[in-house]
């Protein structure tokens, strides 16, 4: 579902304002676009489906920055997804693992600056990855486990989103431009069925300053989604992708529903919807799944 292509002149959208969606707020939301109406409540006081007579971009503009609500538009008809492909750093977790690892090596400011520029789309991802990994050369590999234990935490709602979708038969895939040493344990903790990421080189118990094998970059993320979709025999609208940076753009554009989570401007501009004010489990409401059916963390 592409933001640039838009919908017909009628949009069905999920309005989310957890714990705050009372009649006053709902009435104000309906007034953002003339002719809008309530279709149904998904969870009273939390999320509701609206019918809005406007193109997609007009819907986004009408609600952008208003009332600390999130609005997720989708085509009319079945919308529960059968495939979830998600980025990890600053999406499913609240940290950038390579930046935190660099702190143990005493080079966090240098690495974090490169990471930010890459996520903004200012640098080639593969080149930025090579430059950052080189700065970690000689760091004891055991620091990875220490970093995981001390600093890495899932974002709110991550486990509920993944475990609920998986319990309902969806394939869940964590795909990251980070490293398998982090991604494997995080995928297991959150509940992902599969994962793919880069491999850090280790020599004599220390980081070699290079990666091994194929680089998981923006193109690979796109291909992971499209390959899994085809393997599962799904159509585009049955797929959901979530990311935060410029290297997620091809994956987000390929998905039936592409979500920009607390995202950099480059990604936010092309995603089908933004999730700025709620946890990741809010995307269950966007699929029409009420809280009574969520699988808790």
Q: Between these two residues, 118 and 284, which has the higher pLDDT value?
A: 284
CB 26 within 8 A of CB 50: no
- The CATH class, in words, for 1-77 is alpha beta
User: What CATH class has 80-96+154-205+212-297?
Assistant: alpha beta
Map out the domains of the chain as residue ranges: 1-77, 80-96+154-205+212-297
Name the least confident of 36-45, 48-57, 150-159, 229-238: 48-57
Which sequence positions are flagged as catalytic?
87, 89
Q: What is the pTM of this model?
A: 0.93
Whether 8 has a pLDDT exceeding 60, the answer reads no
Q: What is the pLDDT of residue 38?
A: 97
Three-state secondary structure of the chain: CCCCCCCCCCEEEEEEEEEEECHHHHHHHHCCCCCCEEEEEEECEEEEEEEECCCHHHHHHHHCCCCCCEEEEECCCCCCCCEEEECHHHHHECCCHHHHHHHHCCCHHHHHHHHHHHHCCCCCHHHHHHHHHHCCCCCECCHHHHHHHHHCCECCCHHHHHHHHHHCCCEEEEEEEEEHHHHHHHHHHHCCCEEEEEEEEEECCEEEEEEECCCCCHHHHHHHHHHHHHHHCCCHHHEEEEECCHHHHHHHHHCCEEEEECCCHHHHCCCCEEECCCCCCHHHHHCCCCHHHCCCC
Closest by CA position to 284, among listed 155, 153, 158? 158
Please say if the pLDDT value at position 61 is more than 90: no
- Check residue 104 and give its pLDDT: 95
């Amino acid at each position: 579902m592409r933001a640039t292509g838009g919908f017909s002149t009628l949009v069905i959208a999920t309005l989310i304002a957890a714990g705050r969606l009372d009649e006053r707020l709902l009435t104000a939301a309906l007034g953002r676009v003339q002719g809008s109406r309530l279709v149904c409540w998904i969870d009273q006081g939390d999320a509701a489906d609206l019918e809005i007579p406007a193109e997609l971009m007009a819907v986004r503009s009408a609600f952008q920055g208003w009332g600390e609500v999130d609005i997720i538009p989708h085509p009319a008809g079945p919308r529960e997804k059968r495939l979830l492909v998600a980025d990890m750093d600053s999406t499913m977790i609240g940290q950038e693992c390579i930046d935190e690892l660099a702190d143990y090596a005493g080079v966090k400011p240098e690495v974090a600056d490169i990471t930010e520029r890459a996520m903004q789309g200012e640098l080639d991802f593969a080149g930025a990855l090579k430059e950052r990994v080189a700065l970690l050369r000689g760091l004891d590999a055991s620091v990875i486990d220490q970093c995981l234990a001390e600093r890495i935490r899932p974002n709110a709602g991550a486990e509920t989103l993944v475990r609920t979708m998986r319990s309902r038969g969806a394939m869940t895939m964590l795909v990251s431009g980070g490293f398998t040493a982090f991604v494997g344990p995080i995928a297991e903790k959150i509940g992902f069925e599969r994962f793919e990421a880069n491999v850090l080189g280790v020599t004599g118990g220390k980081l070699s300053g290079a990666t091994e094998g194929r680089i998981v970059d923006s193109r690979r993320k796109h291909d992971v989604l499209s390959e899994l979709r085809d393997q599962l025999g799904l159509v585009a609208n049955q797929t959901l992708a979530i990311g935060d940076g410029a290297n997620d753009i091809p994956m987000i554009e390929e998905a039936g529903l592409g979500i920009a989570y607390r995202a950099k401007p480059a990604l936010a501009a092309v995603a089908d919807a933004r999730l700025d004010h709620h946890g990741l489990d809010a995307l269950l409401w966007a699929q029409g799944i009420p809280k009574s059916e969520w699988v808790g963390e």
